[in-house]
Amino acid sequence: MGRMRVLTVNPGSGSLRLHVVEGDEVVDSAEIGRPPAEAADDVKAFVAGLAVAAVAHRLVHGGAELTEPTVVDGRVRAAIAAAKSLAPEHVPNTEALLEQLSELLPDVPHVVCPDTAFHCGLPEIARTYPLPARWRARWDLRRFGFHGLSFAWAVRRAAEVLDRPSGELNLLVAHLSGGCSVAAVAGRRSVDTSMGFTPLEGTMMAKRSGTVDPGMLLWLLREGHLDVAELEDGLYHHSGLLGLSGTSDDTRDLVRDSRAGDVKARFAMAVFEHRTRRELAAVAASLDRIDALVFTGDIGWDQPEVAEAVAGGLGVLGLRGGLSRNRERDAVISPPGARVPVLAVQSREELSLAAAAVSVL
């Protein structure tokens, strides 16, 4: 990547990460531990006097219109507004930050980098839902996939660690963090992934349910047990690790509590690990071989107990446990001689964001 200095903006549902990136180096950063809607003063303070050549905004859902990093104009703003209902926990934050930073930094290009872009070439059989054709045509119902910036970085680093061309690698990648998804990647191309039309599908997450039986949800609505707002709130904010443990959505807490004898914490972790294994096995069916399994995201990188349980339970795919707990650098963590190497790669979405912005400027 060139030496252009780029401000990267990475809003979560409850936090905001700002980085100033030059080349592959972070020269300044701020992590704001409050919802982006409450962070306007922090953002203003961070960019005061800041000299950058561009601003790169992470956009969780690009919808049908935004399929690659794109310089912001009126069309892009309209597409972002249209995508808000697809990822209501995330896209409104991006829209608000884009407006604020466009006012604070009006003389530099702003680039939106959709997390969905990495998956825009999904094979038709992998992106298609078995729904009525008229529904799919009218509302563009299909699988988009997410966490693309993280996946792109993990693929790049895996190739460097393995000293193999990324275009020759077939990888399983697990992004495990507050939101979780897995992907099968063949030669830098996503060929299957666990998330779909929204970031709610797929494996169990910190507070999100992941995939559950839609018939059960219809029953809850039809019988009047829940209304739509209650159902949405429960699926997005009160399920997953938090829903099963009843105490925390943080794997660090749950691993500690499990060791102390907390049965619910241990059960929540066991279901999380099982669901992750299940989704990895599912997307593995889209590859003709597995050259490596890559763990990334906050949990994938920094929770060795999870990586051990997931890899150790996938013997059917040629994987095994006995992983190293060392996380000093991106590395192979599987034992010497393992049939399928296992890697841990620190997620660096800020570097992916900066590189994506530079690529279109």
Decide if 115 is catalytic: yes
Phi, psi of 172 (to 5 degrees): -100, 130
> In what helix (H) or strand (E) does residue 21 lie, and over which residues does it extend?
strand 16-22
**Which residues are paired to 16 by β-bridges?**
11, 32
Residue 310 · residue 273 · CB < 8 Å: yes
Using CA atoms, how far apart are residues 16 and 248, in angstroms rounded to an integer? 21
Q: Which residues of 168-203 are buried (b: 16+ CB within 10 A; e: fewer)?
A: ebbbbbbbbbbbbbbbbbbebebbbbbbbbbbbbbb
Catalytic residue among 41, 42, 115, 262: 115
Nearest to 86, CA basis, from 99, 95, 74: 95
Residue 190 · residue 122 · CB < 8 Å: yes
Residues marked as catalytic: 115
